[in-house]
Amino acid sequence: LGAEQSSAPGVTRHFVVVCSRATASGDFLLDDVPGTSGRLDVGLRCIRAALLVSHGLRRDAVVYLVLRGGPRAPRVLRVTGRDARFIRPDERSLAVLAQKALAGSDDQTPGFVDVKPGVAVARGDVEQVLAHLGSATPYILERGAPDIRDAEGLGKGDVAFVLGDHIGLDEATRSQVTASGARPLGVGPVAVHAEDAIAVVSNELDRRE
């Protein structure tokens, strides 16, 4: 995918998906990702929703999968639209990308370790991500929270959205993220899939540009 999509110059959208049981190692079957990876497929669809548009890659988006399953957990897989190459929309290709990245990087080096352009892995949990968000305004996505349509100032600077997977955010993580200053935002009255919540947020930000 060669075309590029960007929001206002210098504005970055971060999406942090807490994958409660998804494997932090490359030890899963490509032919059965949902059944062998602790539902890493949910996170893979979030990568697609955050980074890919029709015939293009969002250069202004960064997605983090916080992987809490398996013996190498916790680890974070980060895909940065600005630097990524050859990100394909189908789930199998994304699973291959994740598998190679998770199998290839070591756990000794602190912080994010680049495994290929735009793809990095770090040892650590959500605190590892929060430490890398810089000046981005943090939000936590949850059903029933104040509507994103009414959020004043949203999209004028860097933003970060934390969301759960199919299980949802556990209370300890919610408290941790809220303590970092994140305010809750909702995308409507219905609990949607995580990747759909990302799509709605992306659409809202697109409309505000």
Ligand X SMILES: C[S@@+](CC[C@H](N)C(=O)[O-])C[C@H]1O[C@@H](n2cnc3c(N)ncnc32)[C@H](O)[C@@H]1O
Smallest gap from Cβ 25 to ligand X, in A, equals 23
CA distance 158 to 133: 9
Stretch that binds ligand X, among 77-85, 93-101, 158-166, 175-183 (CB under 6 A): 158-166
- The token pair that represents 91 in the structure block: 């789930």
Among 94, 121, 197, 199, binds ligand X (CB under 6 A): 197
Q: Is 186 in the site for ligand X (CB under 6 A)?
A: yes
- The token pair that represents 148 in the structure block: 């994103």
Q: Which is nearer to ligand X, 14 or 72 (CB)?
A: 14
Among 175, 191, 203, 208, binds ligand X (CB under 6 A): 191
Site string for ligand X, 130-149 (x = CB under 6 A): -----------xxx------
Q: Is 168 in the site for ligand X (CB under 6 A)?
A: yes
Q: Is 21 in the site for ligand X (CB under 6 A)?
A: no
Judged by the rule CB under 6 A, the positions of this chain that interact with ligand X are 141-143, 163-164, 166, 168-169, 186-188, 190-194, 197
